[in-house]
Copies of this chain bind each other. A is one copy, B any other.
């Protein structure tokens, strides 16, 4: 029999026992890459921009031609014309000359700064008066200021955000190497379960977990295969698990709240692979099983939806991240508890909260309900953890809330 592990020990176990999958790179187009995991470092092979650019509408010139000028005594420069947007500046500016350059336009050789048009006067005779002295490099971006060959712009493992897509576009990376989407199989077990579209008879309840898990994994960028509801029959469950393992990168076996099903899940994992974990010291979520078959994880989740929810968020998503080489830090928001919360379990206790602002301060309202109620979760904005060695928190205590809106 395996010992019950603490949440931290489970996180360590995941790192130790699982590795990023090999040969899991595919190329997708720029407009399909947001939210995907970058599979390789992106290193520039060109200069961006590839020419010196102005950052203002104004006159490109040699800064020293304007030193000491003022409103009263403007520097008088000879206009060499205009650089059009999108055109190269195929002439060289001499001393005493200037040319008009729009924002983003190319600065000709010979010029070393740009003076805003607000500080100029066009005398109409080919002479431009400049009333504010420029400094070398002012109001311009140099070739390669943004990106130069060899610069690593994005590191593999990053979940691509829109700002990263912008950088890829600038560099001309239109085929983006990303980690292939994982396929996760979901099996629900339990004689009491009926699909959500059916009206439960007495003693029956609807299958919540497989749909909640599908939603959470889909939002995480994973493809789900739902293998349906399995009754508490070990031979049939074995068949289903074996099929799912052969077709998927990972398999979740949800529920079966009875002792018999838990034992069966353990035996099945041991018969086709290795059992790694039996029980996590957390509430809710204790009756969790984890194993592996080859490199593929198998997780037996608690039947209670709230327990299954926390175990999936806290351990299954990190486990899938590990397989994908996905590096995504999680951040928490700080909120003050609206009321005291008790805990005295010797195990980490997780609770959902609603968040709201009161006088500019973020307040966490703990959702109170009996174990196993799905409406504990519905409408929740996030959750927090009370450490195993903490006996409770008073009203007003600051807690770190992981926000889980919209995913």
Contact = CB atoms under 8 A, between A and B. Distances in A.
Contacts of A390: none
Contacts of A35: 219, 406-407
Contacts of A162: 212-213, 215-216, 219, 309, 404, 407
A172 B153 contact: no
A358 interface: no
A368 to B, nearest CB: 12
Given A174-B196, A203-B105, A218-B31, A158 B211 contact: no
Contacts of A174: 196-197
Q: Is the interface of A mostly helix, strand, loop or mixed?
A: loop
B169 A257 contact: no
A309 B172 contact: no
A352 to B, nearest CB: 7
Interface stretch (A9-17, A65-73, A78-86, A292-300): A78-86
Contact of A31 (B51, B161, B202, B215): B215
Nearest to A117: B259
A10 to B, nearest CB: 20
A379 B203 contact: no
B106 A202 contact: yes
Given A159-B405, A258-B102, A378 B167 contact: yes
B374 A405 contact: no
Interface stretch (A91-99, A140-148, A264-272, A337-345): A140-148
Contacts of A46: 199
Interface string A362-393: 10000001111111011111000000000000
A165 interface: yes
A349 to B, nearest CB: 16
Interface in A181-235: 190-193, 196-209, 211-216, 218-219, 224, 226, 232
A406 B169 contact: no
A294 B169 CA distance: 33
B206 A170 contact: yes
B167 A377 contact: yes
A50 interface: yes
A226 to B, nearest CB: 8
Given A102-B257, A170-B208, A190-B104, A328 B196 contact: no
B202 A51 contact: yes
A209 B166 contact: yes
- Which 9 residue pairs of A and B lie closest in terms of their CB atoms, listed nearest first? A88-B202, A167-B378, A166-B212, A163-B377, A162-B216, A86-B192, A34-B215, A165-B215, A159-B406
26 contacts: A31-B211, A48-B205, A53-B205, A55-B372, A86-B191, A86-B192, A86-B203, A87-B203, A88-B202, A103-B258, A104-B257, A146-B375, A158-B379, A161-B215, A161-B406, A162-B212, A162-B219, A162-B309, A162-B404, A163-B212, A163-B379, A163-B380, A164-B379, A165-B211, A169-B196, A170-B208
